[in-house]
Structure 1
């Protein structure tokens, strides 16, 4: 005899304690198919999203994260659905959908939407779709994805993507994925990208500009740069060692986890570079012909392993992204004949010791997610661990960490557990001091 189950209401909540207004319960997304028509001059976006999702329980309604677009139609499994839009008291904007009948298992949502995309205001500044002087960019970390498509905006809900963007013909479009088609019509071009690897919504990107494509390396991982013509000479020097950087990071962390890598340099200045899945975005100010910002090139590439392939389960664990990417900078410096990782560590340890001891690395709080100490102290943890384990066990740990969690989600606890296995001893006291107490531990003479 079967059980009579009342359909559940999909809670518009996230399990992320830092960003409770983003993410939605009751289902997970398998695939997004996004068809976007974007007109640059009026900043006008018309979109259709086909979202394939799986409901964990029968849902009588569910929610998606979506900014202030006009939504003329929503269909669920081909049937018209009722829907409302709202903004929560905690800042998230929601599209609430009531299907004609409850969904269970796999279902498909079609959302048509139109409007003027704008960044999402946040405590870390505006994030998401933004206009450039001559083009557009997407910088979604951590809550900007709903500024341009309906999604389940939680880092742990990773899906595959097909992104089709139609825009004015003189412009180049780069998007998350591998370019699979390009079509021209009267006055416009359509660019189609596909990302087969599971991807968090904040790592999905679109870049539009007057760019020239420059090959950085042909394979086995195709690496290309999209650059304004005026910056081509400077970029040739600044990005000239990119193939060597890729080779070095693969030696440290294991095989690059995606099918391609795109590096975009906008014609505008940007405060900071931006990582996306299989892509990094830099401002014109990061290209000067003197390799001044090469460490940032390394940092963003390292995020393809740590942050993108290995995505944190929630934002408390952000040191697993930023600490690892920062330590990659120090490793490349040493590998390329610059300052040793030990010299960088001792310098930054002294700087961190001069700052207030009021940050817990494993749980810095939403206001301090992007605090410099998350980056540098995170790198110091790894350097101290390297000293504790020795080089061979340490790099074996990093490669094992990246391989066994490829395209999955990770937590601090899982890294600590795996480190203990590689060390062959209990490291709880070591990690408790570095990760769970605000006081900065010392770097001993045994550390590298």
Structure 2
């Protein structure tokens, strides 16, 4: 994190952004260890009410603490360590809480917030992200800063915590959230679903999916329990389009190391979606991704790979987005190679020819906020890994990936940590490779 920076001649200080890519997001003074969310959602009126309990430890003595929370949600009550807060304000997407007594460094910070409103996505340079209504139900897709659309949080990927998510909604609807379903209680016209996510999770990966779905086990023979949650009308297409998921899981476990979570769930909404969405332990596809022809299988591979690269190993700064998207894109090529399709080399050659005709105005290791989701980050990131594979050889390259996922399991990562680890797998310097692929705008030759 950046240090406090002096401004002006009056000796005043401001705190530089935690992440310059999203300068309004993230908060100082505490580290969250757990969120407990008790939510009630009315599908017909898109009305959300909730109580969020945030458990944290302070990292310094501060008069007040802030949390990210959309202005679409109105706060009615705040307590700190069991006592009503001395005061709180909710302005410009920040809920700022002043405890009635100062809390020492390393002290316990338990904040309970009661709130309600009509949730809507957060607008930003990358479109709208967060809680969104479907034709019948709701979807949460929060990357990079949409978690604040439905609960108060420290909405930065370096802030990982465990979660308990309880959702009460109309009984006809099925609810999916991160982690294991630990309780389901039906009361007349309403059902409460309680999920426990024990592994640390970044706030943007927290999700709720609500719709007219049925749930079933995909395969009992897969190395990891795999579930499907989807409308009954899409079942036949899903069974064909996603049939190779167990094989895909086996392939990625062999190449990347053990799957990092207890199970894996795919949700298919009744609506079309522009792109699939990853969440921790969950991937979400639209009805349009079930075409009965496996037309989206590369995306199925991409989203599954994010469980390793993005969800277990999560970037500590958004400038390192290639550590998520480049790795997941390369996983598409690896799946093609292992399943009888074009080899990674053939795909890399074709992608390189295409990339050569695009503008040279992107630095992969620091693309800037306006280009962080540019398709060139995905493709150049994958090409970087293919170039590294060629330099190291297959045995060393996949040993590197497996050690990378093991060493940083459920943690946060940086590009420097990856390049430092890669240096242990060769006697030759990799500096020229990293300079060419990560730090220059010009596209290197393969």
1:38 is the counterpart of 2:41: yes
For 1:11 and 1:47, the matched residues in 2 are separated by 33
For 2:55 and 2:14, the matched residues in 1 are separated by 18
- 2:223–2:249 contact (8 Å) kept in structure 1: no
| TM superposition shift of 1:425 | 2.8
For 2:120 and 2:243, the matched residues in 1 are separated by 35
Superposed counterparts of 1:70-89, under 5 Å: 70-81=74-85, 82-87=87-92
User: SS at the partner of 1:60?
Assistant: coil
Cα distance, 1:248–1:391 mapped onto 2, change above 3 Å: same
| TM superposition shift of 1:12 | 8.0
Deviations 1:263-322 (A, max 9, x none): 000000000000000000000000011111011010000000001100000100000000
How many residues matched? 429
| TM superposition shift of 1:377 | 0.3
| TM superposition shift of 1:11 | 8.2
Deviations 1:115-163 (A, max 9, x none): 0000000111110000000000000000100000000000000000000
1:272 is the counterpart of 2:254: no
Aligned to 2:419: 416
For 1:423 and 1:52, the matched residues in 2 are separated by 44
**What's the TM-score, normalizing by structure 2?**
0.95
Superposed counterparts of 1:9-408, under 5 Å: 14-68=17-71, 69-81=73-85, 82-87=87-92, 93-104=93-104, 105-218=107-220, 220-408=223-411
For 1:359 and 1:425, the matched residues in 2 are separated by 27
For 1:217 and 1:406, the matched residues in 2 are separated by 25
| TM superposition shift of 1:217 | 2.5
User: SS at the partner of 1:250?
Assistant: helix
Once structures 1 and 2 are overlaid, which stretch shifts more, 389-398 or 95-104?
Answer: 95-104
Cα distance, 1:134–1:220 mapped onto 2, change above 3 Å: same
For 2:400 and 2:119, the matched residues in 1 are separated by 43
- 2:223–2:246 contact (8 Å) kept in structure 1: no
User: SS at the partner of 1:352?
Assistant: helix
For 1:305 and 1:228, the matched residues in 2 are separated by 27
For 2:68 and 2:288, the matched residues in 1 are separated by 33
- 1:158–1:198 contact (8 Å) kept in structure 2: yes
| TM superposition shift of 1:186 | 1.7
For 1:11 and 1:207, the matched residues in 2 are separated by 39
Deviations 1:40-65 (A, max 9, x none): 11111110001001111122101000
For 1:310 and 1:126, the matched residues in 2 are separated by 25
User: SS at the partner of 2:61?
Assistant: strand
Once structures 1 and 2 are overlaid, which stretch shifts more, 303-312 or 11-20?
Answer: 11-20
CA RMSD of aligned residues (A): 1.2
- 1:75–1:109 contact (8 Å) kept in structure 2: yes
| TM superposition shift of 1:79 | 0.4
Deviations 1:6-50 (A, max 9, x none): xxxx98874111001000011110000000000011111110001
| TM superposition shift of 1:428 | 1.0
- 2:184–2:193 contact (8 Å) kept in structure 1: yes
User: SS at the partner of 2:424?
Assistant: helix
User: SS at the partner of 2:319?
Assistant: helix
- 1:14–1:154 contact (8 Å) kept in structure 2: no
Aligned to 1:446: none
Cα distance, 1:42–1:323 mapped onto 2, change above 3 Å: same
User: SS at the partner of 2:324?
Assistant: helix
User: SS at the partner of 1:100?
Assistant: coil
User: SS at the partner of 1:51?
Assistant: strand
List structure 1 segments (4+ residues) > 3 angstroms apart after TM superposition. 10-14
- 1:12–1:25 contact (8 Å) kept in structure 2: no
- 1:12–1:63 contact (8 Å) kept in structure 2: no
